[in-house]
């Protein structure tokens, strides 16, 4: 039996506007913002507003719109950072590496020969996150 969704998780707080984030995209159902401990410049998280711990307990109706936005963000980060590729990741439960228990998808621009930095590693400076968010917003708009 899966554990219950905890509305006190950090992404729920971000969605409610209780703690700040560098947002790049929002619609009725989905928000995308910068990961504070990026595994590469431009690492973005795409988060449905509907509450679920992860993909295992999500309403299947959430997943189609979520992945449509993941695609939009993947195209935008590739353009914004002139990347060679994009890694998309999604973790379910601690054994898989999940650390925040509200469904989210990682979108990370990739460059030939450059490895990913560690998951949940070092905090990025707010000014760098703000600058990167601006680049992604510009790519989404253009
Ligand atoms: P997970 O391991 O659950 O798939 O990923 C959680 C991600 O959330 C990690 O990449 C981590 O760096 C990021 N993260 C943790 N706390 C915060 C936060 O307060 N704000 C933002 N924007 N990202 C966070």
| Nearest Cα residue to 29 out of 84, 83, 80, 72 | 72
Report, as residue numbers or ranges, the catalytic residues.
104
Expressed in angstroms and rounded, the spacing between residue 38 Cα and the centre of ligand 1 is: 9
- Which of 25, 45, 106, 118 has most ligand 1 atoms within 8 Å of CB, for mutation? 45
* 96-99 long-range Cβ contacts below 8 angstroms, 24+ apart: 98/54
pLDDT one-digit tens code per residue, 60-105 = 999 999 999 999 999 999 999 999 999 999 999 999 999 999 999 9
Domains of the chain: 10-140 (3.30.428.10)
Q: Does 2 score more than 80 pLDDT?
A: no
In this predicted structure, what is the pLDDT of residue 142? 59
User: What one-character-per-residue DSSP string does 81-105 give?
Assistant: TT-SEEEEE---SGGGT--S-S--E
- Mean pLDDT of all residues belonging to the chain: 96
Across 101-120, average pLDDT: 95
Whether the pTM exceeds 0.95: the reply is yes
Question: CA 75, 111, 135, 63 torsion: positive or negative?
Answer: positive
In this predicted structure, what is the pLDDT of residue 121? 84
User: What one-character-per-residue DSSP string does 30-79 give?
Assistant: EEEEE-SS-SSTT-EEEEESS--SSGGGS-HHHHHHHHHHHHHHHHHHHH
| Nearest Cα residue to 40 out of 3, 67, 78 | 78
Expressed in angstroms and rounded, the spacing between residue 140 Cα and the centre of ligand 1 is: 22
| Nearest Cα residue to 125 out of 45, 34, 46 | 34
């Amino acid at each position: 039996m899966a554990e219950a969704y905890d509305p006190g998780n950090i992404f729920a707080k971000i969605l409610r506007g209780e703690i700040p984030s560098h947002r790049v995209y929002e619609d009725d159902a989905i928000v995308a913002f910068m990961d504070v401990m990026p595994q590469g410049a431009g690492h973005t998280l795409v988060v449905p507003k509907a509450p679920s711990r992860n993909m295992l307990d999500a309403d299947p109706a959430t997943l189609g719109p979520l992945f449509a936005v993941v695609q939009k963000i993947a195209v935008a980060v590739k353009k914004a950072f002139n990347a060679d590729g994009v890694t998309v990741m999604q973790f379910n439960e601690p054994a898989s590496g999940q650390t925040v228990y509200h469904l989210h998808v990682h979108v990370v621009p990739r460059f030939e020969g450059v490895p990913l930095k560690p998951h949940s590693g070092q905090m990025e400076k707010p000014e760098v996150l703000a600058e990167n968010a601006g680049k992604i917003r510009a790519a989404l708009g253009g």
